[in-house]
Amino acid sequence: MVDGAGVRMTGPLSPYAPGVWRELRERGYTALSSRNVLRLMAHLSRWLQSEGLEPVELSAERIGAFCAARRGAGYTGFLTPRALRPILDYLRGAGGVSLPEAARHAPTPLDGILNPYVEYLRRERSLTEAAIARYASVVRQLLVRRFAHEPIALAALTARDVTAAVLRTSECYRIGTTKHTVTAFRSFLRYAYLTGQTAVNLTGALPAVAGWRLAGLPRGLDPRQVRQLLRHCDRRTHLGRRNYAIVLLMVRLGLRRGEVAALVLEDIDWQRAEVVIRGKGRREDRLPLPEDVGRAVAAYLRASRPRPTSCRHVFLRSCAPCGPLGAAAITAVATACLARAGIPCGGAHRLRHTAATEMLRRGGSLDEIAQVLRHQSADTTALYAKVDRLGLRDLAQPWPGGAR
């Protein structure tokens, strides 16, 4: 048969070709890229027919065999299982074919320990998925190193093991990373004790990390640097309009990178000029949407957001397959924009500091800054008292024998 893309296809995958074409176009693939994927699908379909296989019989081993056959036939492109991902995703979903995940592995004893812990963090502690991933990664490294040559048994963990793990981390990473590691250890050890997997609560064995809160200064941008940063977002291009809206949200509203990534279309109330922010601990807040920020987001949505797409996230990747930008991608956008503007050593959190210092410069109180930044502790906002030069001037004592 010949599908709507003009690609001739025979074999057991022929009925799925129209659906794959539609999905590729919806996910932002160009017509040329979509045809190339369908040509790969046509080759896979012919190979299945020659091997006497049905789509449901595809497995990781057979996908590997097809890629080897494709290389042997002299093809120079689309030679790895990754190239088949758009096809296999469709067959697993809308195509109704039950395919095994290519990278699925049998559960290990370590998975049997970590998976319930992950569910505990998600349901009982209400952590975000990014925080859960960080905690699980830290705990995995602890257990893999401790039980490298023996079966995993949490009851065998000792205070010495925990202390040694923290000291190893402190030798390789900065204070902030070490603090996060200790936090993850404390969470897991408390969970293991509460669930009866350890007889002793080992959280007391965790050493304190010598790093003081509020020791540094918030490094915000001055107004000249903000203007320079926004000017270097080329709003004549699709990518520039998207990056301009992202940067403006962080500079004006002080959003965290994960909060920008989590925005969906329904979060923006255009009638009331408000935006719903989903922050730490699954907390939801409403903030006013400034006019310039609203105009920037609207310009991106109208002219530059990929479509058609069923994804409801506000900010999407500019290249196919179209999907939501993650928190790491938001950081990459902020870092790239700062570098393009000639501002070194910057990231997404520096733009959040910029929002706070600008509010302070315009006369905002620490309480007002705490509300906008959605701090759960007043101590966190107290950091910005250090840069309130006008307020500190009233507190400064005169130098003996000199002018105030």
Residue 300: HSE in the Cβ half-sphere, 13 Å Cα cutoff: 25
Which pair of tokens denotes residue 187? 């969470």
Is 280 in the active site? Answer: yes
Catalytic one among 232, 235, 350, 352?
Answer: 352
Residue 256, classified by CB atoms within 10 Å of its CB into exposed (0-12), middle (13-18) or buried (19+), is buried
Which pair of tokens denotes residue 333? 């956008």
Is 375 in the active site? Answer: yes
- DSSP letter at 399 equals P
Catalytic one among 232, 256, 313, 317?
Answer: 256
Is 272 in the active site? Answer: no
Interatomic CA distance for residues 276 and 265, integer angstroms: 10
Which pair of tokens denotes residue 302? 């109208």
Interatomic CA distance for residues 217 and 392, integer angstroms: 14
Which pair of tokens denotes residue 180? 């996060």
Interatomic CA distance for residues 169 and 113, integer angstroms: 22
Which pair of tokens denotes residue 328? 């790491």
CB 185 within 8 A of CB 142: yes
Interatomic CA distance for residues 9 and 395, integer angstroms: 79
Is 349 in the active site? Answer: yes
Residue 205's CB is within 10 A of a number of other CB atoms, namely 17
User: How far, CA to CA in Å, does 43 sit from each of 69, 89, 187, 206?
Assistant: 10, 17, 51, 57
Interatomic CA distance for residues 259 and 128, integer angstroms: 11
Interatomic CA distance for residues 36 and 4, integer angstroms: 13
Residue 175's CB is within 10 A of a number of other CB atoms, namely 13
Question: Smallest Cα–Cα separation from 66: which of 49, 87, 88, 44?
Answer: 44
User: How far, CA to CA in Å, does 216 sit from each of 53, 208, 219, 256?
Assistant: 64, 19, 9, 19
Is 179 in the active site? Answer: no
Is 256 in the active site? Answer: yes
Interatomic CA distance for residues 44 and 54, integer angstroms: 11
Catalytic one among 62, 168, 278, 280?
Answer: 280
CB 315 within 8 A of CB 325: yes
Which positions are annotated as active-site residues? 256, 280, 349, 352, 375, 384
